[in-house]
A and B are shown apart, each in its own frame.
Chain A
Amino acid sequence: MGVVKGFLVSSSEAVARKRVADAMRGRVEEIADRWVRLQVQQAALSGGTSESELREEADTLVAALVTGLDSALPIDRVASSHTELRRAVTDLSMNRARGGESPTATALAVLALKEALLEAVQESTQDSGELFSAALLINRLLDGAGALSFDTYVEGREEIIRRQSRQLLEVSTPVVRLWRQVLGVPLIGTLDTARTQVVMENLLQAIQDQEATVAIIDITGVPTVDTAVAQHLMQTVNAVRLMGADCIISGIRPPIAQTIAQLGIDLSTIMTRATLSDALSEAIKLTAGPLPTPDAPAVR
């Protein structure tokens, strides 16, 4: 029974599928036009996508829909499995995501396409039974496309978020040159493992590039320090020393000093100063160090 029923469904589906494909084939440009117009009317797009871009997307996607319908793939898997169509849908959603369009605009785009397709089929037949099965088919085809489009859109947004948080990490950990051979890292905000690793990498690279001999890590702007962060700071100081430079930590505020003492973390081997300016004056003394500076002007 199941087999017979399945056969009947699929055979009538095949008929509807051919009808939709044929109806579209004669009206590819028309459908694409209509779709673009519908999207512009919806005005849900924030303007990041131009009309010519819309038109190009529409041409590609409608053409891909036709070849998708011609393929032997089951109707609800055409969008996800037909290479050409899949690419057209993912490209469209990725562009929307990267262009900063809202999820609504992206979802409405697919819904508008449904409308454009139904209109095209309506022009090709007046039979209500045929129209109904065509509408069902279009629904199943575009629901697949809608799901894929949403997945891709979310993936695209996540990619942007990941990139931004990486950029933020870079921006939030600047290494600045404070004096000849002296670098400073003013840390502001909460420190975690990822951030301290970026600090360490940037600082060591800057030490090598600029041949700095003293690095000052200023933690005035760091609200709290826990065991993990203190250990990361120790690691950073040790890595700086391995490079052959000195490291000073400045701006340890009283509550943080208390926490460090209570946690039993030994910072005694680390050079610390109350303020950044104290640290800088110490650093300048260190760079003057045992090296005679013949080209330094006599000040006194």
Chain B
Amino acid sequence: MTQLANTSTTSRAARTDTPDGDAAAEPGTTRVVLTTEEDLLTVRHAVRAATLAVGFGIVDQTRVVTAASELARNAYIHGGGGVLTIEYPRRHGVRGLRLTIRDEGPGITDVDAALVDGFTTGAGLGHGLGGARRLMDEFEVRTVPGGGTTVVATRWVPR
């Protein structure tokens, strides 16, 4: 634990003058509450701003915002709304963007099926979850039937 923290400080300080120089430039964790359809646009704006803050190129920006749009729409349609949390993780000095979307809906009974293209129980093409997974580097679905769904998706800035 301490070891890890030291390592990341070392590599960061090698590039910038102060060990916490660029961490300060990053905004803290952002939360967007998703209750109405208009909030889908708020989600897009917030995620777009976050991708710019992390320093993604235009194609990665588009990937992450599109994935966020898919996930937010899923939460809105199937979960009756939810909360999006935007975080700025760091791994071995590499910056990233993590989206966590949590809803209190009925949950997904068959996650594997939901990740297959064409699977849909509502509006859309059924590309929602599977498509969003392809646009992100890491993707995790936690769901309890009757207990809501949480999707955690991360993309790292290419070195």
A interface residues, Cβ below 8 angstroms from B: 80, 83, 86-87, 90, 94, 151-152, 155-156, 162, 201
**Contacts of B10 on A, CB cut-off 8 Å?**
80, 151
Question: Bound complex: CA of A154 vs CA of B25, how far in Å?
Answer: 26
CB atoms of B14 and A90 under 8 A apart: yes
CB atoms of A87 and B17 under 8 A apart: yes
Tell me the smallest distance from the CB of A242 to a CB of chain B, in Å.
13
Tell me the smallest distance from the CB of A99 to a CB of chain B, in Å.
16
Closest residue of chain A to B93 (Cβ to Cβ) is: A155
Question: Bound complex: CA of A58 vs CA of B11, how far in Å?
Answer: 23
Tell me the smallest distance from the CB of A255 to a CB of chain B, in Å.
30
CB atoms of B14 and A155 under 8 A apart: yes
**Contacts of B14 on A, CB cut-off 8 Å?**
90, 94, 151-152, 155-156
List B residues 1-46 near A (Cβ within 8 Å).
Answer: 10-11, 13-14, 17-18
CB atoms of A86 and B11 under 8 A apart: no
Tell me the smallest distance from the CB of A68 to a CB of chain B, in Å.
15
Tell me the smallest distance from the CB of A93 to a CB of chain B, in Å.
8
Is B91 interfacial (CB 8 A cutoff)?
Answer: no
**Contacts of A152 on B, CB cut-off 8 Å?**
14
**Contacts of B59 on A, CB cut-off 8 Å?**
201
Tell me the smallest distance from the CB of A92 to a CB of chain B, in Å.
12
**Top 8 A-B pairs, shortest CB-CB distance:** A155-B14, A152-B14, A162-B159, A90-B14, A201-B59, A155-B11, A151-B10, A87-B17
Known: A162-B159, A201-B59. A90 touches B11 (CB 8 A): no
Question: Bound complex: CA of A94 vs CA of B18, how far in Å?
Answer: 16
Tell me the smallest distance from the CB of B42 to a CB of chain A, in Å.
28
**Contacts of A80 on B, CB cut-off 8 Å?**
10
**Contacts of B13 on A, CB cut-off 8 Å?**
86, 90
Question: Bound complex: CA of A90 vs CA of B14, how far in Å?
Answer: 6
Tell me the smallest distance from the CB of A203 to a CB of chain B, in Å.
12
**Contacts of A90 on B, CB cut-off 8 Å?**
13-14
**Contacts of B18 on A, CB cut-off 8 Å?**
83
Question: Bound complex: CA of A180 vs CA of B11, how far in Å?
Answer: 49
Q: List 15 A-B contacts (CB under 8 A).
A: A80-B10, A83-B18, A86-B13, A87-B17, A90-B13, A90-B14, A94-B14, A151-B10, A151-B14, A152-B14, A155-B11, A155-B14, A156-B14, A162-B159, A201-B59
Closest residue of chain A to B10 (Cβ to Cβ) is: A151
Closest residue of chain A to B159 (Cβ to Cβ) is: A162
Question: Bound complex: CA of A94 vs CA of B13, how far in Å?
Answer: 12
Tell me the smallest distance from the CB of B29 to a CB of chain A, in Å.
28
**Contacts of A155 on B, CB cut-off 8 Å?**
11, 14
Tell me the smallest distance from the CB of A279 to a CB of chain B, in Å.
26
Question: Bound complex: CA of A94 vs CA of B14, how far in Å?
Answer: 8
**Contacts of A201 on B, CB cut-off 8 Å?**
59
13 new A-B contacts at CB < 8 Å, known A87-B17, A201-B59? A80-B10, A83-B18, A86-B13, A90-B13, A90-B14, A94-B14, A151-B10, A151-B14, A152-B14, A155-B11, A155-B14, A156-B14, A162-B159
When each residue 91-130 of chain B gets 1 if its CB lies under 8 Å from chain A and 0 otherwise, what string results?
Answer: 0000000000000000000000000000000000000000
Tell me the smallest distance from the CB of A175 to a CB of chain B, in Å.
16
Question: Bound complex: CA of A155 vs CA of B10, how far in Å?
Answer: 10
Tell me the smallest distance from the CB of B54 to a CB of chain A, in Å.
18
**Contacts of B17 on A, CB cut-off 8 Å?**
87
Question: Bound complex: CA of A156 vs CA of B11, how far in Å?
Answer: 10
**Contacts of A94 on B, CB cut-off 8 Å?**
14
Tell me the smallest distance from the CB of A204 to a CB of chain B, in Å.
9
Question: Bound complex: CA of A151 vs CA of B17, how far in Å?
Answer: 16
Tell me the smallest distance from the CB of B20 to a CB of chain A, in Å.
12
**Contacts of A87 on B, CB cut-off 8 Å?**
17
Tell me the smallest distance from the CB of B10 to a CB of chain A, in Å.
6
Question: Bound complex: CA of A156 vs CA of B18, how far in Å?
Answer: 17
Question: Bound complex: CA of A152 vs CA of B16, how far in Å?
Answer: 12
Question: Bound complex: CA of A151 vs CA of B9, how far in Å?
Answer: 12
Tell me the smallest distance from the CB of B88 to a CB of chain A, in Å.
21
Question: Bound complex: CA of A206 vs CA of B22, how far in Å?
Answer: 34
Closest residue of chain B to A201 (Cβ to Cβ) is: B59
List B residues 51-95 near A (Cβ within 8 Å).
Answer: 59
Tell me the smallest distance from the CB of B64 to a CB of chain A, in Å.
15
